[in-house]
């Protein structure tokens, strides 16, 4: 029995729990999951653990994922665990372990054990970390997936849309950056070197069987996503989305939860169209975006660039946004960069949710009232990051006004003029 099976039968147990957090009717959430418009990632292995669940999709708050993981150049599993915990603490709803250093399995287990939010991984990395491209066998793809699932991963990115056909479209494109997805590039190269079809595509029924057994949610990876605004929304990207849309329906048929990943890099005026077109092609499955980044000229500030793109994408229907740190394109991020990026992505998500959900602006109105009252402790408590807010306001040294305007404070001059 998967969650989708429950949903289709109207068994509300899990939905009641999650609906409380989501501030939605359990029956409505149940319907969303039954129809595939929302997912609740949860490996059955974790169903009796204390896990902070979240629902991702239509009519729900925009969710935030943080990526962590070792790299071939920096192997520090404890450091990555600290990043994962910092992300959870900062309010990330899920975390993905994208480790490609060594001892992947032990790192993965450490992360799954170390956090209480759902954990995702990208099984395709593992064979390529251990073997040269040409030496990776078809069965290595599935073996890796099986191991991730059995370790208790709640959702897996499967780059099943990188196929012989879509790679052909890619080769005909005028892209500057080709493939920038790690899983996408490895898969495309493997297809090219072996001449074989992507096993995750060819054996998608087996992938579904495996995921169904542990009720693992599939996140269909966008291996051909653009790597710069020049490459955005081209034929190669769309050819992959069409395949992903077909796979969404196959997953739904067998009751496996599925969402779809998207770009990447998109000029700001194309984000609305990009998100809406994607929603249509993938049959309203939850959309999981990385960014999108509406400019390429700001390395060191891509956390801000992604917040800009993410807020716009969220407003137009993106359901799940992956954190992008200040180190993106430059280096493995630090713990503090991960933390800050989670906050920025939560801000972007809230900005979008103000538009999407009726009650979201109550938080803003409460802050406005606290400001109207010049009630600083209330402002600090209401802030998305009370610690940083308090630190900055501390420079104002305990006055009832802040050090920007002092007694010429506009609120004191007008709204509270009767008190002065």
| Ranges within 139-178 binding a second copy (CB under 8 A) | 176-178
**Nearer CB in complex with a second copy: 85/350:** 350
From 10-18, 205-213, 245-253, 326-334, span contacting a second copy (CB under 8 A): 326-334
- Residue 37, CA distances (Å) to 32, 157, 181, 185 in order: 5, 18, 25, 29
- Write out the binding residues for a second copy, residues 96-135 only, by CB under 8 A: 100, 125, 128-129, 133
Task: Round to whole Å and give the CA distance between 291 and 173.
Answer: 22
Taking the CA atoms of 160, 164, 166 and 171 in sequence, report the sign of the dihedral they define: positive
- Nearest to a second copy of 194, 396 (CB atom): 396
Interface positions, 2-41, toward a second copy (CB under 8 A): none
Q: Which is nearer to a second copy, 33 or 68 (CB)?
A: 68
Q: Which residues contact 79 (CB under 8 A, 6 or more apart)?
A: 335
Tokens of 363: 């938080």
Q: Cα 131 from chain centroid? A: 28
Nearer to a second copy, 140 or 328 (CB): 328
Instruction: CB nearer to a second copy: give 48 or 297.
Output: 297
Picking from 231, 221, 299, 238, the residue whose alpha carbon sits closest to that of residue 265 is 231
Nearer to a second copy, 125 or 320 (CB): 125
Task: Report the nearest approach of a second copy to the CB of residue 270 (Å).
Answer: 9
What is the nearest approach in angstroms of a second copy to the Cβ of residue 294? 5
Q: Whole-number minimum distance, CB 235 to a second copy, in Å?
A: 17
Q: Which is nearer to a second copy, 41 or 183 (CB)?
A: 183
**Among residues 363, 375, 378, 381, which is the contact residue for a second copy, using CB under 8 A?**
363
Pairing assessment for the beta strands 38-39 and 56-57 based on DSSP bridges: antiparallel
Residues 6+ apart with CB under 8 A from 177: 226, 227, 228, 230, 231
x-or-dash pattern for a second copy, window 224-243, by CB under 8 A? ---xxxxx------------
Q: Give the H or E element holding residue 289.
A: strand 287-290
| 261 phi/psi in degrees, rounded to 5 | -90, 150
Q: Using CB under 8 A, which residues numbered 381 to 420 contact a second copy?
A: 382-385, 388-389, 391-393, 395-397, 399, 401-411, 413-415, 417
**Dihedral over alpha carbons 189, 95, 248, 229 (to 10 degrees):** -60
Spatial separation of the C-alpha atoms in residues 321 and 344, rounded to whole Å? 11
Residues 179-198 that bind a second copy (CB under 8 A): 179-182, 184-186, 188-189
Nearest distance in Å: CB 252, a second copy = 30
Q: Is 59 an interacting residue with respect to a second copy (CB under 8 A)?
A: no
User: Residues of 268-279 as b/e, b for ≥16 C-beta within 10 angstroms?
Assistant: eebbeebbeebb
As a whole number of angstroms, the distance between CA 226 and CA 137 comes to 28
Helix (H) or strand (E) holding 63: strand 63-68
Least distance to a second copy, CB of residue 227, Å: 7
From 295, 375, 378, 381, residue interacting with a second copy (rule: CB under 8 A): 295
Q: Which is nearer to a second copy, 152 or 223 (CB)?
A: 223
**Closest CB 10 distance from a second copy, rounded Å:** 35
Please, which of residues 296-325 interact with a second copy by CB under 8 A? Answer: 296-301, 304-305, 307-308, 311-312, 315
User: Judged by CB under 8 A, which of 1, 11, 20, 330 binds a second copy?
Assistant: 330
Q: Which of 35, 71, 147, 381 binds a second copy (CB under 8 A)?
A: 71
Cα separation values, 49 from 26, 117, 303, Å: 21, 11, 33
Using CB under 8 A as the binding rule, whether residue 378 contacts a second copy is answered as no
| Structure tokens, 231 | 């490459």
Q: Do strands 287-290 and 119-121 pair parallel, antiparallel, or not at all (unpaired)?
A: unpaired
Total chain residues near a second copy (CB under 8 A)? 98
Across 99-245, the runs of DSSP E, i.e. the strands, are 119-121, 155-158, 217-220
In this chain, which of 48, 50, 72, 418 binds a second copy, going by CB under 8 A?
72
Q: How near is the Cβ of 177 to a second copy at its closest, in Å?
A: 5
Candidate residues 242, 268, 357, 378; the one interacting with a second copy per rule CB under 8 A: 268
């Amino acid at each position: 029995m998967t969650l989708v099976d429950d949903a289709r039968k109207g068994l509300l147990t899990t939905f009641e729990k999650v609906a409380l957090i989501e501030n939605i009717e359990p029956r409505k959430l149940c319907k969303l999951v039954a129809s595939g418009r929302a997912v609740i990632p949860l490996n059955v292995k974790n169903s009796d653990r204390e896990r902070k669940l979240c629902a991702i999709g239509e009519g729900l708050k925009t969710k935030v994922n943080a990526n962590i993981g070792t790299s071939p150049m920096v192997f520090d599993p404890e450091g990555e665990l600290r990043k994962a915990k910092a992300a959870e603490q900062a309010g990330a709803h899920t975390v993905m372990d994208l480790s490609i250093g060594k001892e992947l399995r032990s790192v993965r287990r450490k992360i799954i054990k170390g956090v209480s939010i759902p954990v995702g991984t990208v099984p395709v990395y593992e064979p390529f970390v251990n073997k040269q491209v040409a030496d990776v066998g078809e069965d290595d793809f599935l073996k890796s997936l099986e191991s991730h699932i059995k370790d208790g991963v709640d959702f897996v990115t499967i780059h099943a849309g990188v196929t012989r056909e879509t790679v052909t479209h890619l080769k005909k494109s005028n892209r500057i950056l080709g493939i920038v997805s790690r899983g996408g590039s490895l898969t495309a190269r493997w297809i090219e070197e072996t001449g074989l079809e992507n096993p995750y595509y060819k054996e998608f029924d087996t992938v579904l069987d495996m995921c169904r057994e542990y009720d693992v949610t599939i996140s269909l990876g966008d291996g051909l996503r653009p790597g710069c605004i020049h490459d955005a929304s081209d034929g190669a990207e769309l050819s992959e989305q069409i395949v992903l849309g077909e796979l969404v329906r196959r997953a739904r048929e067998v009751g496996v939860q599925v969402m779809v990943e998207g770009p990447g890099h998109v000029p700001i005026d194309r984000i609305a169209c990009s998100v809406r077109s994607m929603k249509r092609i993938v049959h309203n499955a939850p959309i999981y975006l990385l960014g999108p980044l509406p400019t390429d000229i700001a390395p060191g500030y891509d956390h801000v660039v992604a917040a800009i793109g993410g807020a716009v994408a969220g407003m137009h229907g993106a359901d799940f946004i992956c954190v992008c740190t200040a180190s993106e394109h430059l280096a493995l991020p630090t713990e503090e960069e991960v933390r800050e990026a989670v906050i920025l992505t939560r801000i972007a998500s809230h900005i979008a949710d103000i538009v999407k959900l009726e009650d979201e602006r109550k938080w803003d109105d409460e802050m406005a009232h606290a400001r109207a009252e010049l009630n600083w402790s209330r402002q600090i408590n209401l802030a998305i990051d009370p610690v940083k807010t308090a630190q900055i306001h501390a420079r104002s040294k305990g006055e009832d006004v802040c050090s920007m305007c002092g007694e010429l404070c506009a609120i004191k001059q007008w709204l509270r003029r009767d008190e002065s």
